[in-house]
Chains A and B, each alone.
Chain A
Amino acid sequence: MTDLKHSSASSATSGAGGATSPLDAQRRRLRLPFILPAVIFYTVFFVAPSLASFVISLYRWRGAGDEPEWLGLGNFLRLFNDDIFRGAFVNTLIVLLVVGAIIFALGFFFTAFVAEMRGKHLLRALIFFPSLVNPVVLAIAWGFILDPTRGALNTTLEAIGLGNLKQVWLGPQLIFPMILLTMAWMTVGLFTVILMAGADRIPVSLYEDCDLAGASIGQRFRMVTLPLLWEVAAVAAVLWVITAVKAFEFIYAFAGVGTAPPRSTWTASVYVYMQGFGSQGLPELGRASAMSVVMLIVVGVLVVVLRRLMSRQKVEF
């Protein structure tokens, strides 16, 4: 449809022999003034800092009035031997894959089944609610719920006679799984709403056809909803990759209070912060920038791979 529109517009404006109308010429002249402010804004606030990060990543620089020391790719090479970076990188991938699997599984579940229920708008609002609250507030609240001594979870389990299920939820073994679960709880609403909005665009007539053919809810989802939702799901997956790799404030507030959270909970973003600003000593801005550059490349590669994997023949409806 879009392609058709473009080609007809193009032929209409080009006319016979490629002559352009005065209106088209005016439009072209206006393009630059319209896009220039955005380009300047984007360049100054996004492109320039990104390039600056890359430049800084080639130096050892503490950002405290000191002379930058040229290291070339030294900061990058060091990352390959850095156990902490490896651990943080693996944790980032775990967040990406495990939390991603949970939120998309739940997102599709809600889209398939909740969409059919009465009161779905209320339910959608309830699921979405955690996405509206500041992640730092949620992280602190979960900390108090899961605290083993006075937390609501253990206290409730004790009160209802299930004291044997009590755990040290924030202890070294469980703290990272708890971070994953609570992150999934916090994020699932946003992605469910995106998927449901995509599902709302599917013509009702297709579902009526399914009803006439006697299809079950599962079949309707597999045959109609999923194929027609695929493009939306692909965009949501890209959004999730970007969100997951940048995950920082929730983990920092969940695991630490004013001091560094335990190393076992660090993701790459937390490590970047610790190197750049979080320690009690002087920052290592060169190393922090090198990590940021690596993570930017990782996001880029993941997004490209994901787009390729999820590309399908576009279904028009």
Chain B
Amino acid sequence: MYSFKASTGRRRASIAGVALATAALLSGCAVFQGDSGASTDGDGLVFWSMWERGEPQSEVLQGAIDEFEEEEGITVKVQWAGRDVGTRVQTATNTGDVPDLVDDAVEVLLAGAEAGVYQGLASVYEREIPGEDQTVADVIPAEYVEPYINDDGEPIVVPHSVTTTSIWYDGNKLPGVAEAPPATWDEFLALVAEAKAAGQTPFAADGTIPDYNAYWLGQMVLRQMGPGWLNDAAHDETGEAFKDPEFLAAAERLQQLVDAGYFMEGYQGSKLPAQEQAWAAGDADYLMMGSWAPLGKEEVAREGASWRTFPLPLADGGVNSVEANLLGFGIPTDAKNSENAEKFIAFFMEKDRIGGISSEANQLTPRADVEPPADLVDVAAMLESAESAHRYLDGLPSELPDWWTGVFLPADDKLFFGEITAEQFVDQLSQESAEFWKNNG
């Protein structure tokens, strides 16, 4: 028995040695660099999209791809990669086998651009749109892309869709509001107090989604204090920036809504889409949500529902900033056919082609001359009249993800659920931010 063990022991040791050597070889060679991978077609175009096959946007894009192949003679290989396309592109960057064109949420593109994954697109903006006597820059409002530039000052995205966050309601159920939406915080408060007194539930919220909960305070702060305020405060390593009295006042306004019991019963533990559907069915008056709020509500909506929206009303001294969250095209730095990618973007920007995003996918496009979908007429007007535009949640979920999920969201949830007061919220945020930077600075 022992001799058996001894002889296998030596063999085991040699096998373990081979295993370790192989592992070391593999880890040494391939931990940080993959194989350089296959190159793309010399004169084709490889496109990875954030949409999945069958989604309306994929159909609009596929239509444009078919036309592009026919008119330009360029073969397009498209992969409907879905929402994690950004991760796939980042991973592919290690191998050099990247697509030539990507469409994704702008915040993901920007985070990638900061790591060198995506290139600047100034040259795309100078391109003429086929069939139109104007360039891409002429049809995309500059203020939309201003926050999304790289170190060389070039935009890293050409948007094809714009969403925003605002307060949604059924204009058919609340005709008075549809006629004259509240313009100030006081008017808004009076409106919801009246609804509550009449036995209505003013707000629905699916509280198990912390990002959605943060829409409330995010809008209160950014529309009031201006684009970039929250982002700057988050980067303050002392945490003292959060002690600004205006920030406290914004938190107090949220506390006021919570304390008054304006949110639907059980919202703290509501699982998406329970309360969103309850709102669509008419059980609550208002929903703070992105421009996708009306989508997919046909079967649960109150009969005759007509979706309308207004921006969160401002208290004194607000700056009327509106969120402009973009979905659009990016070109990887290592793309082998950037030229073809640029051609496709300019091709897609043609009014009727990008118009499919509005007419088929019911989303707003950045082109002001494309007619908005019926449900988003208010959103188009809101963006048109805004004094400035801010990033989705001021860019924090993508720029400082650890701070956002680890520091901000837990404190915001407590405030939003009525577990702490506005003062306690400010103290917690300030203190935990300082601690965060001590460990991450």
Contacts and interface: CB of A to CB of B under 8 A. Distances in A.
Contact of B23 (A14, A51, A154, A280): A51
Interface stretch (A101-109, A119-127, A170-178, A306-314): A170-178
Interface residues of A, number: 68
A259 B115 contact: no
B27 A52 contact: yes
Interface stretch (B137-145, B267-275, B381-389): B267-275
A66 B116 contact: yes
Nearest to A62: B115
B201 to A, nearest CB: 11
A10 B271 CA distance: 64
A215 to B, nearest CB: 40
A64 B94 contact: yes
Interface stretch (B48-56, B223-231, B394-402): B394-402
Interface string B250-277: 0000000000000011111111101101
Contacts of B84: 277
B270 A52 contact: no
B90 A257 contact: no
A48 B209 CA distance: 37
Interface in B1-51: 1, 3-4, 11, 15, 18-20, 22-24, 26-28, 30-32
Given A82-B439, A149-B274, A7 B1 contact: yes
A63 B94 contact: yes
Contacts of B18: 39, 43
Given A143-B271, A149-B265, A280 B401 contact: yes
A39 B265 CA distance: 58
Interface stretch (A201-209, A230-238, A260-268): A260-268
B270 A260 contact: no
A283 B88 CA distance: 12
Contacts of A283: 87, 90
A97 interface: no
Given A65-B117, A282-B115, A172 B405 contact: no
A55 B32 CA distance: 10
Max chain B Cβ within 10 angstroms of own Cβ: one of A55, A65, A143, A171: A65
Contacts of A282: 90, 111-112, 114-115
A99 interface: no
B272 A257 contact: yes
B107 interface: yes
B62 interface: no
B68 interface: no
Contact of B410 (A48, A262, A279): A262
A55 B31 contact: yes
B266 A149 contact: yes
B393 to A, nearest CB: 9
A257 B275 CA distance: 14
A64 B208 contact: no
A64 B15 contact: no
B211 interface: yes
B117 A64 contact: yes
17 contacts: A10-B4, A64-B93, A64-B112, A64-B115, A65-B93, A65-B116, A146-B271, A148-B265, A168-B268, A170-B271, A257-B208, A257-B272, A264-B410, A279-B397, A279-B401, A281-B111, A282-B90
Given A55-B28, A146-B269, 11 more contacts: A39-B15, A44-B26, A56-B32, A146-B271, A148-B270, A149-B266, A168-B266, A171-B207, A255-B208, A256-B209, A283-B90
